[in-house]
């Protein structure tokens, strides 16, 4: 009996640390007033195939924080849509947020996905760490390390997914169902936990449907 109780305790402990994926429907969260909206306006859109939120364009960066304050390690998958308009589409995920100006983010520039200019093409996906490591600072001081080309990119005007895998200091970003990361970088700060949400760059809006969060074991 004692042995059986020990086995049950071990199983219970293992389950308590297992990965559980959470789905956050942004349309529903907005309706429930559960999103914290920074420097943007948000509208809901209801079509025959999708219910989603539409984030407005504005100067400077915008953040839509989810009701998550303690994301550490794990995966973040977002369904989003930008547009093929130069300098008007910067869409992605902010994580490990401490406030509205201190956070990490990985985002895409859909207008660069199929750029004929080889320089623009390698600026398709970007990691930043605000407020210190902006895209401009990283490009000037460490060019080509924190932004990359996306191989086999999606249609820049259509829905696609980006999945981030955060493992302590290592960050990988996968587009759609690719098994090869489009971006792999080393985190530029020692922040280990924080808020999580949508990121849009200066001048950009975007469309966003669902975010799937899976916290890593033993977080």
Q: What domains lie within the chain, and their CATH numbers?
A: 18-215 (2.60.120.560)
Residue 36 pLDDT more than 60?
A: yes
Model pLDDT, residue 10: 32
pLDDT at 5 over 50: no
Distance CA 102, CA 149 (A): 26
Q: What is the pLDDT of residues 71-87, one digit of tens each?
A: 999 999 999 999 999 99
142 Cβ contact partners less than 8 Å away, ≥ 6 residues apart:
none
Q: What is the residue whose two structure tokens read 């990691």?
A: 127
The tens digit of pLDDT for each residue in 114-172 reads 999 999 999 999 999 999 999 999 999 999 999 999 999 999 999 999 999 999 999 99
Question: How far from the centroid of its chain's Cα atoms is residue 20's Cα?
Answer: 18
Residue 23 in tokens: 């789905």
pLDDT band at 20 (very low <50, low <70, confident <90, very high): confident
Question: Taking a C-beta distance cutoff of 8 angstroms, is the pair 16, 23 a contact?
Answer: no
Confidence at 19, pLDDT banded by 50, 70, 90: low
pLDDT reported for residue 219: 63
Q: Read off the pLDDT of residues 38-67 as tens digits, 9 standing for 90 and up.
A: 999 999 999 989 999 999 999 999 999 999
pLDDT at residue 191 is higher than 60:
yes
In the predicted model, what is the mean pLDDT of the chain? Answer: 92
User: Would you place residue 217 in the very low, low, confident or very high pLDDT band (cuts 50, 70, 90)?
Assistant: confident
Contacts of 133 (CB under 8 A, 6+ apart): 146, 188
Task: Pull the structure tokens for residue 173.
Answer: 């970003």
The stretch 99-119 carries a mean pLDDT of 97
């Amino acid at each position: 009996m004692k042995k059986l109780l020990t086995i049950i305790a071990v199983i219970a402990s293992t389950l308590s640390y297992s990965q559980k994926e959470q789905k956050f429907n942004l349309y529903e969260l907005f309706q429930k007033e559960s999103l914290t909206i920074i420097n943007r306006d948000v509208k809901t859109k209801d079509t025959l195939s999708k219910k989603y939120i539409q984030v407005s364009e504005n100067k400077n960066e915008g953040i839509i924080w989810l009701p998550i304050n303690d994301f550490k390690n794990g995966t973040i998958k977002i369904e989003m849509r930008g547009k093929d308009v130069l300098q008007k589409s910067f869409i992605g995920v902010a994580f490990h947020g401490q406030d509205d100006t201190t956070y990490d983010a990985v985002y895409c520039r859909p207008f660069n996905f199929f750029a004929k200019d080889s320089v623009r093409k390698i600026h398709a996906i970007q990691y930043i760490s605000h407020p210190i490591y902006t895209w401009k600072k990283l490009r000037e001081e460490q060019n080509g390390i924190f932004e990359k080309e996306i191989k086999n990119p999606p249609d820049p005007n259509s829905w696609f997914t980006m999945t981030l895998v955060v493992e302590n200091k290592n960050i990988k970003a996968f587009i759609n169902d690719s098994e090869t990361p489009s971006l792999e970088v080393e985190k530029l700060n020692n922040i280990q936990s924080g808020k999580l949400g949508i990121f849009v760059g200066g001048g950009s809006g975007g469309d966003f449907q669902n975010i799937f969060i899976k916290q890593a074991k033993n977080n």
